[in-house]
Amino acid sequence: RTKWSGLIEAYRSFLPVSDQTPVVTLHEGNTPLIPAYSLSERVGRGVKVYVKYDGLNPTGSFKDRGMTMAISKAKEDGAKAVICASTGNTSAAASAYAVRAGLKAFVLIPDGYVALGKLAQALLYGAEVIAIDGNFDDCFNLVRDIAHKYPVTLVNSVNPYRLEGQKTAAFEVVDQLGDAPDWLCIPVGNAGNISAYWMGFCQYHQHQKCEKLPRMMGFQAVGSAPIVEGHPVKSPNTVATAIRIGNPANWKRALAVEDASQGEFNAVTDEEILEAYRILAREEGVFCEPASAASVAGLLKVKDQIPNNATVVCVLTGNGLKDPQSAIDHAQAQVKAGVASELESVAQVMGF
Ligand code: F0G
């Protein structure tokens, strides 16, 4: 057993780094691929479902994979500051890795639409958090212009190093399964991650590390489904604030992935997302944030299309602790409060 010291060291030969690159890492990656017995049973017909629990990364989301690369390269290139637009997770990751690299981080967020845990992270890491009176797409347009005009490096997923880092999740899935899955279900916002996974699978395939290539199944939320609808959405909305995006930065790439993998984009309703969120927690013991549950909502929505005995991986992009308010609001369970501090009262509440 070798010591894990982050994905750049683990997959160095597949990444655009050299001996000159200062590796900025929090030892991200190497997240578990967990068999999902209840979901497998719900799909039936011998289908095996796994979840790739990327919420176990150091800042609690898959963004750490992209950020270790983007920040290492920014440091190598002599940057002094980085900037991103974010629905929350990118800002948490950028802030943390910027600290490690000794860079200043600026983050633009849509005012009122970032989950509590993510906001808490960016603030505690010491980033400059700027809340914009607008949505993610407005924030993104602003940071693009700012990075063009001022000496700050843009670390959104249009930064090519982001996808290079994120593609390692596909390597890990293959290393863990012994081959690529038949299907990969993944939530889609800016469509960076689906593009990165596809890059990773293709690269591993070229190196004979896997025999199969998966069908890439991308899922957007109904109120924020520009790729499914085929046009930008002006005022995107969904309970899954992480993917509340109306004009994805990697739209063209996403269509190419759909084409090359014979994949599909579909939309899932907030109700379906929340149901999958509860199923993951109550039947699998896995706590993810609502946006991540879109992959499982999608799986359950299109399950009849899955071939018998196929292997499916659902990507769980973010940790449930990121968004405690959603959990409390949608758990369909309540704290039994006001119980007296005596054995009899507790036993009665317990049903004994
Ligand atoms: N899941 C989570 C938890 C996310 O935070 C995001 C994106 C996605 C899925 C979608 O990934 O954009 O590559 O298609 N979050 C970005 C952010 C927008 O700012 O944290 P994508």
- 181-190 tens-digit pLDDT: 999 999 999 9
Is 89 a known ligand-binding residue?
yes
How remote is the CA of residue 191 from the centroid of ligand 1, in Å?
Answer: 8
Q: Residue 187: what pLDDT?
A: 98
Q: Known binder of ligand: residue 200?
A: no
User: Ligand 1 test: best mutation among 61, 64, 250, 326, most atoms within 8 Å of CB?
Assistant: 61
Q: Tell me what percent of the residues of the chain surpass a pLDDT of 90.
A: 99
**pLDDT over threshold 80, residue 2:** no
Query: Which residues share a beta bridge with 67?
Result: none
Task: Report which of 129, 121, 74, 61 is spatially closest to residue 96, judged by C-alpha positions.
Answer: 121
The residue among 65, 62, 52, 53 whose CA lies nearest residue 313 is 52
Q: Are strands 81-85 and 104-110 parallel, antiparallel or unpaired?
A: parallel
Tokens of 131: 């809340």
State the pairing for strand pair 215-221/264-268.
parallel
Listing DSSP states for 248-261 in one string gives -TTHHHHHHHHHHH
- The 10s digit of each residue's pLDDT in 294-338 is 999 999 999 999 999 999 999 999 999 999 999 999 999 999 999
Q: Measure 277 CA to ligand 1 centroid, in angstroms.
A: 16
Pick the atom of ligand 1 nearest to 192's CA: 13
3-class DSSP assignment, residue 287? coil
The yes-or-no verdict on residue 73 having pLDDT over 90 is: yes
pLDDT tens figures, 3-14: 999 999 999 999
3-state helix/strand/coil string of the chain: CCCCCCHHHHCHHHCCCCCCCCCCCCCCCCCCEEECHHHHHHHCCCCEEEEEEHHHCCCCECHHHHHHHHHHHHHHCCCCEEEEECCCHHHHHHHHHHHHHCCEEEEEEECCCCCHHHHHHHHHHCCEEEEECCCHHHHHHHHHHHHHHCCCEECCCCCHHHHHHHCHHHHHHHHHHCCCCCEEEEECCCCHHHHHHHHHHHHHHHCCCCCCCCEEEEEEECCECHHHHCCCCCCCCCCCHHHCCCCCCCHHHHHHHHHHHCCEEEEECHHHHHHHHHHHHHHHCCCECHHHHHHHHHHHHCHHHCCCCCEEEEEECEEHHHCHHHHHHHCCCCCCCCCCCCHHHHHHHHCC
What would the mean pLDDT of 153-165 be, rounded to a whole number? Answer: 97
**Counting beta carbons within 10 angstroms of the beta carbon of residue 141, is it exposed (0 to 12), middle (13 to 18) or buried (19 or more)?**
middle
Tell me the CA–centroid distance for residue 291 and ligand 1, in Å: 8
**pLDDT tens digits for 258-303?**
999 999 999 999 999 999 999 999 999 999 999 999 999 999 999 9
Instruction: Kindly tell me if the per-residue pLDDT of 84 is higher than 90.
Output: yes
For 240-259, write each residue's pLDDT tens digit.
999 999 999 999 999 999 99
Q: Which residue has the tokens 């958090």?
A: 129
Instruction: Return the ligand 1 atom nearest residue 289 CA.
Output: 3
Asked whether the predicted pLDDT for residue 1 surpasses 80, the reply is no
pLDDT band at 32 (very low <50, low <70, confident <90, very high): very high
Residues whose beta carbon lies within 6 Å of some atom of ligand 1: 61, 63, 86-90, 157, 187-193, 242-243, 289, 291-292, 317-318
Average pLDDT over residues 229-237: 97
Q: What is the per-residue pLDDT for 241?
A: 97
**Ligand 1 atom showing the smallest separation from residue 55 Cα:** 3
Largest CA distance in the chain: 69
User: What's the rounded Cα separation, in Å, for the pair 3 and 16?
Assistant: 22
E-assigned strand segments in 213-281: 215-221, 264-268
* Cα 250 to ligand 1 centroid, rounded to whole Å: 12
